[in-house]
């Protein structure tokens, strides 16, 4: 008798695809947010937190480490890109790349902490559930 798969068992995407998906979704949130205003806002933060949770649920178990380190790297990459293209969206218009990244990280630290914590907690829960289900099978 087979049982229905639970939410914790569903993730089956390879790590590389999850990285690309994460980058594409983060950049999409940035574009939408900047179309609505001049700076990244709470919209970006909420999208980032939801994305961190979604990526942790989508990845296959063998690539948990990849997603476990992804949220801070995604945020730094996005702020570095914005620091080159549009520093005024994350910092003052005349700020350097380094200053734009630091200001962006400081401004959106809450979203990074919450998203990263949710990501790691989800991965830990999935790992625990998967190890229990293999012991009972």
Residues 6+ apart with CB under 8 A from 101: 76, 79, 80, 83, 90
Q: Give 64-75 pLDDT, tens digit per residue.
A: 999 999 999 999
Q: Is the pLDDT of residue 4 over 60?
A: no
List, in sequence order, the alpha helices (H) in 1-137: 15-36, 42-58, 64-68, 70-85, 97-107, 109-136
Cα distance between residue 126 and residue 61, in whole Å: 8
Over residues 105-119, the mean pLDDT reads 97
Q: Is the pLDDT of residue 63 over 60?
A: yes
pTM: 0.90
**Which pLDDT does position 130 carry in this prediction?**
84
**Which pLDDT does position 1 carry in this prediction?**
41
Over residues 114-124, the mean pLDDT reads 97
């Amino acid at each position: 008798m087979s049982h229905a798969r639970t939410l914790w068992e569903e993730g089956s995407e390879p790590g590389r695809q999850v990285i690309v998906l994460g980058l594409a979704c983060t950049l999409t949130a940035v574009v939408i947010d900047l179309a609505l205003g001049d700076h990244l806002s709470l919209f970006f933060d909420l999208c980032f937190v939801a994305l961190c949770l979604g990526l942790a649920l989508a990845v296959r178990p063998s690539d948990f480490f990849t997603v476990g380190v992804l949220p801070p790297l995604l945020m730094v990459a996005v702020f570095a890109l914005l620091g080159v293209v549009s520093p005024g969206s994350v910092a003052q218009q005349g700020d350097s790349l380094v200053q734009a990244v630091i200001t962006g990280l400081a401004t959106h630290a809450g979203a990074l902490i919450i998203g990263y914590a949710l990501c790691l907690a989800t991965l830990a829960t999935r790992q625990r559930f998967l190890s229990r289900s293999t012991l009972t099978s």
